[in-house]
Structure 1
Amino acid sequence: MTSSVRERLTLAVLLTASFTLAVDFSILNVALPVIGAEVGFSLTGLQWIATSFALCAAGFTLTFGRVGDLFGRRRLFLGGVAVLGVSSLVGGLAETPPVLLAARAAQGLATAAVTPAALSLLTTSFPEGPRRERALGLNGALMAAGFTTGAVAGGLLADLLSWRWAFFVNVAVAVAVLVVGPFVLVESRPARRPRVDLPGAVTVTGGLLSLVYGLTAAAEHSWTDRRTVAALLVGLLLLVVFWQVEKRVSEPLVPVAILRRRTVAGGNVAGLLAFATETSLVFVLTLYLQSVLGFTPLSAGISLAVLGVGTVIGGIAGPWVIARLGSVRALVAGLLVQAGATLSLVALGDSTRWLPLLLAATFAGGVANLVAIVGFMVTATSGLPDGEQGLATGLATMSQQVGITMGIPVMSAVLGLSLQLSALRTAIGVNAALCVAAAVLAGVVLRTPRQGKLVLAGSGNSAPAGRH
């Protein structure tokens, strides 16, 4: 097998798995009422179908990213895909709520294992530069498009076949990846295996689980509810403990030095906001289409498909933009254009004559969002040795999944109990403001010093300004 054929097959395997996992975030949302009636969920219990997945996907990502560094990313990737296949089969056959929730939690764990492993295999399979940027662009495009595609696919499957096919499709994908993957993926891990930082793994996982649960509780109840407040406080406390642990252990899960790099810390915060704003905008616009314009769930999903097209184009265009502006300027420019496109949606009215504006703005915002996401991925994973790629991609994946999870509760808090057009416009305005805040953050924290080099705080490394 020639190297070019192997590279293409490697890319196909990794992107297929990543896209499938992104689809899983939203594919069941449209079908929740049908699932509740068929399996026996209460109205309040339905949200746990999404929450059980999100908790595990976001909470365990960083730990699994480091596990891949220690024990092999290829091994973790294939093992996670196998878990995805088995859990999806169980979920598709589930007849009771506990079985379905256990399957969704296992899917979340598979996502936490496969996503950072796939991203780190991608970054170590392609050398730093244009080829890696193109690969990251395609990965980012498919990951972002997957969230929108999930809403459309979920509606189609629920209407034409059954919601159970949302699970069974994963089984077919898992089998295909497990057949091809072992022949094209090359194992990647450090030559020396360090000790596992168990205190760090426990505190960071517990902290992330608590934070994600708190954000979910805020959407379900309120920001002042005692469950929300308690979960958020416990999460923050555990993350503070995690930081202290990492400064003291000899072989930390996350070396403090990597978190002091401008590219890693600033890039991940901006990336988190990029994912949070776009996925939560889909949520707000879905409410607008259904509550204000009276669209069916399937019609609303199809109306937002143009956003998915925009994200694919943005992912393809991202490396081209980075080649001309550098990854940091591409990140900032993408966020600013996304902010402008989002702000235009404040003009939406209560009739379908506003639909062309929605389609045009979501398309432009989707393109810009993916340019920003590719810029974030390149910024947050460049200038690091292969031994830290699993950690860097684990951080990037965690930012992505926490962003996807936190965006909707924030928008829900802005909306309150109202689905009136005025409340939806306010939420859209807040969303645009968050895009601007992310752009300003990236522009300030990741700014290139005048001497033409981007100095990475906390390290002696530097990278050419033209690439970053």
Structure 2
Amino acid sequence: MSVIDAETAGTAAGTAPVVLTPRLRLVLVLLLAAQFMLAVDFSILNVALPVIGEGLGFSLDRLQWIGTAFALCAAGFTLLFGRVADLFGRRRLFLGGLVVLGTASLVGGLAQNPEVLITARVLQGLATAAVTPAGLALMTTSFPEGPLREKALGLNGALMSAGFTTGAILGGLLTDLLSWRWAFFINVPVAVAVLVVAPTVVKESRPDERPRLDVPGAVSVTLGLLAVVLGLTQAGEHGWGSANALLSLAAGVLLLIVFWAVERRVSAPLVPLGVLGRRSVAWGNVAGLIAFLTETSLVFLLTLYLQEVLGFSPLAAGLSFGVLGIGTVVGGSVSPRVIGRIGSRRTLVAGGILQTVFTAALLGLGADRSWMWLLLVATFAGGVGNMLVIVGFMVTATSGLADHEQGLATGLATMTQQIGITLGTPVMSAVATAAMTGTGASAVLGGLRTAIALNAALVLLGTLTSAVFLRGARPGAR
């Protein structure tokens, strides 16, 4: 069932809309506002962590759980909630998730001790896992395949990527000018505004027949993803030889194997293996995983460079990423036209090459501020390339599927996005730390160059997989 009716389509029955009508434009604005807010939440507290720790009495070893608690839930529950949206209604889950997000943000802003704050972050992560796939599914069912969907996904990708950068800037501004508590409070009016308007504009979307929820599959995949994300996070913090990290990773892999076995046997699987077997879905998500992992972790690496090597303040470092944000907006704006002209596969390859070249260019950064021009040029151009890949991935991984599979497809795409964002920083942090020999700015710079080189190599690998495995693949093809 599409959320577009004859009035919003503005065309004859059975014909996809070719222009944005006022109602479609309002639907798009509401969905984009929610997705942008969720992206901001991933990074808005990063700069404020030391201040929060001092204000609420967090010990240093517990401080990282402010981010980890959010990321674990956002990544681990996304696939489950994507399927729940298909079964029980995408709009219903979207609005319910926003209620939880607004409430959790209010609780987090008022928190007086670490336990309440961590609880608020867990609830924010769960809300993100519900709202993101439901919102994307509403978007893909509102805008049929073609120019309008590509434009909508292009804007969505640009705002998601820009939101991560904006979060770092906004977190610094709010913390310096007001209080870290406003990093939570800022979500409340946005959530309320969307909740007031959305019920009258966005229509419910769900399959005509509702199959049973695959409980064994839901439990095994959710616990498996949680264990894998936790293991990789711990490896980034304590080293790849950490017993806790290895135990979590082993448990996660075992649970995902159990999930695969369950999906082969149940009559109504959480993730039909036939969908995962389609090249456009499988390899599109590989490209997306690498795109999100590399760009968000690059922001972390460059934050270290700006603060530890060049001596920038947290606020100045955050503002330096404004150029990257502009690059992602430009990339998101032009990507629909690029896809319309050369196709999604070639867009993935072209964007990957652009991102690879300008990520590798960052290996030339030096130990003084005269190299800022290189950082600004490379992050702008790399941001454009990264956004071409992200929009190409979204179009590739969600095209050629029926409406009743859109929640699953967007759930997979969202899970890919959340896992990439979650894993990038701890993995690259571990690489950079292991490569640092000695102390001081020169040692930090040496470790960062090693991690940046790996980052560029991963982007190149993603580009090659798209070029080889998506060759000749039609959307939804096996």
Q: What's the CA shift string for 1:17-40, capped at 9, x where partnerless?
A: 000000000000000000000011
1:444 aligns with 2:430: no
Amino acid at match of 1:324: R
SS of the equivalent of 2:167 reads: helix
SS in 2 for 1:415: helix
Q: CA deviation at 1:426?
A: 1.1
1:12-27 map, 5 Å: 12-27=29-44
CA distance in 1: counterparts of 2:290 and 2:322, whole angstroms: 22
Cα deviation, residue 455, structure 1: 7.6
Preserved CA contact (<8 Å) 1:447 1:454: no
| Alignment match, 1:6 | 23
Q: 1:416, 1:26 → 2: CA distance?
A: 21
Correspondence for 1:129 among 132, 140, 146: 146
Q: 1:424 aligns with which of 431, 434, 448?
A: 448
Matched, 1:378 2:395: yes
Counterpart Cα distance in 2 of 1:408 and 1:332: 24
What residue is the counterpart of 1:239 in the other structure?
A: 256
Structure 2 residue identity aligned to 1:201: A
Note the alpha carbon deviations across 1:108-133, whole angstroms, 9 max, x for none.
00000000000000000011100000
The alignment status of 1:398 with 2:419, answered yes or no, reads: no
Q: Is the 8 A contact 1:94 1:100 kept in 2?
A: yes
- Tell me the residue number matched to 1:317: 334
Aligned residue in 2 for 1:41: 58
Equivalent residues of 2:307, 2:314 under 8 A apart: yes
After superposition, what is the alpha-carbon deviation per residue over 1:357-383, rounded to whole angstroms, capped at 9, x for unaligned? Answer: 100000000011001100000000000
Conserved in 2, the CA contact under 8 Å of 1:120 and 1:390? yes
The corresponding residue for 1:269 is 286
Which position in structure 2 is the counterpart of 1:461?
Answer: none
Deviation at 1:6, TM superposition (A): 1.3
Inter-partner Cα distance in structure 2 for 1:97 and 1:230: 27
- What are the within-5 Å matches in structure 2 for residues 44-443 of structure 1? 44-416=61-433, 418=436, 420-443=444-467
Cα distance in 1, alignment partners of residues 396 and 402 from structure 2: 14
User: What SS is found at the alignment partner of 2:207?
Assistant: coil
Structure 2 CA distance for aligned equivalents of residues 454 and 197 of structure 1:
26
Give the C-alpha shift of residue 328 in structure 1.
1.0
Contact 2:401 2:476 in 1 (8 A): no
Relative to structure 1, is the Cα distance of residues 65 and 220 closer, same or farther in structure 2, using a 3 angstrom cutoff? same
**What are the superposed Cα offsets for residues 230-264 of structure 1, whole Å, 9 maximum, x if unpaired?**
11111111111101100000000000100000000
2-structure distance, mates of 1:454, 1:416:
41
Contact 1:448/1:454, CA 8 A, preserved across alignment: no
1:366 alignment partner AA = G
How far has the Cα of 1:409 moved from its partner? 1.6
Answer yes or no: is the 8 Å Cα contact 1:35–1:163 preserved in 2: yes
Structure 1 Cα separation of the partners of residues 421 and 327 of structure 2: 18
Q: 1:178 to 1:361 in 2, by over 3 A?
A: same
Deviations 1:377-402 (A, max 9, x none): 00000000000000000000000000
CA distance in 2: counterparts of 1:172 and 1:215, whole angstroms: 35
Contact 1:307 / 1:363 at 8 angstroms: preserved in 2? yes
The answer for unaligned runs of 5 or more in structure 2 is: 9-20, 437-442
Shift of 1:454: 6.7
Measure the CA separation in 2 of the matches of 1:73 and 1:455. 22
- 2:15 paired residue number: none
Report SS of the residue matched to 2:471: coil
2:477 maps to 1:456:
yes
Amino acid at match of 1:439: T
What SS is found at the alignment partner of 1:420? helix
Following TM superposition, by how much is the alpha carbon of 1:423 offset from its aligned partner in structure 2, in angstroms?
1.1
Sequence identity of aligned pairs in percent? Answer: 66
Aligned to 1:463: none
**Count of residue correspondences:** 454
Could you tell me whether the CA contact under 8 Å between 1:342 and 1:361 is conserved in 2? yes
Q: What CA distance in whole angstroms lies between the structure 1 residues aligned with 2:78 and 2:464? A: 27
Preserved CA contact (<8 Å) 2:233 2:427: no
Q: Distance in 1 between matches of 2:233 and 2:348?
A: 28
Letter in 1 for 2:462: A
Q: Partners in 1 of 2:58 and 2:334 — Cα distance?
A: 43
SS in 1 for 2:264: helix
| Counterparts of 1:415 and 1:426, CA distance in 2 | 6
Q: Distance in 2 between matches of 1:332 and 1:95?
A: 49
For 2:305, the aligned partner's letter is: Y
d(CA) in 2 for partners of 1:332, 1:225? 37
Q: Give the TM-score taking structure 1 as reference length.
A: 0.96
| Shift in Å, 1:215 | 1.1
In structure 1, what is the equivalent of residue 18 of structure 2? none
CA shift digits 1:144-194 (9 cap, x unpaired): 000000000000000000010011110111100100010111111000010
Q: How far apart, CA to CA, are the structure 1 residues paired with 2:153 and 2:209?
A: 28
1:235 alignment partner AA: G
How many angstroms apart in 1 are the aligned matches of 2:107 and 2:430?
34
Query: RMSD value over aligned CA atoms?
Result: 1.1
